[in-house]
Homo-oligomer: A and B are copies of this chain.
């Protein structure tokens, strides 16, 4: 009883993976065509333009990640929440390297229309707001090191997560993500 995945869902799912792997300018309808097994013209049937496809990819990806955030128990201690966040961040690709779709599109942002920019901005803000609350909690519990206002520290921390997944892939190691978590966690 496998859940039936529609062609549309398959296209979107492969598009998400390809964007995370090679970015907006690094994949084509032809790539998707060979992955899904339909002709490029069929892909245009579901997603008339590449920008339509990418916008839906951002929305789908955002929904998944934000659902993951909501699934992190609100009653947990702050440092435990942060650990779960670090694991959830991005999506593990084939070889174990992680990358965030919205971090990738932030790099490609000068090639993208404004509606996609807004969607990526919304993803950034949602993550930063969530992290700000965790940092505020962690400061109170004396488990996380917060310098300055939680809002500012959260933006810096989110940037560090984004940068660390780039470095993780560049060096073929997951250790970079752990460095970020360790940089705010207070040793006991």
A contacts, CB < 8 Å to B: 21-26, 103-104, 106-111, 117, 120-121, 124, 145, 147-148, 152-153, 155-164, 166-167, 169-171, 176, 179-180, 182-187
Contact = CB atoms under 8 A, between A and B. Distances in A.
Given A26-B108, A145-B145, A162-B167, 18 more contacts: A22-B25, A22-B108, A22-B110, A23-B23, A23-B111, A124-B171, A147-B182, A152-B182, A152-B183, A155-B164, A156-B160, A156-B183, A157-B160, A159-B162, A159-B176, A159-B179, A159-B180, A160-B180
Contacts of A121: 170-171
Nearest to A169: B109
A166 B107 contact: yes
Q: How many copies does the complex hold?
A: 2
Which of A26, A107, A110, A185 has most B Cβ within 10 Å? Answer: A107
A152 B179 contact: yes
- Top-7 shortest CB links A-B: A159-B163, A162-B163, A25-B25, A163-B163, A156-B183, A160-B160, A107-B107
A164 B157 CA distance: 9
A164 B169 contact: no
Given A109-B170, A171-B121, A186-B147, A159 B160 contact: yes
A174 to B, nearest CB: 12
Contacts of A117: 170
Given A159-B160, A162-B162, A147 B26 contact: no
Contacts of A145: 145, 147
Of A22, A145, A148, A159, chain B has the most CB atoms within 10 Å of the CB of A159
Contacts of A186: 147
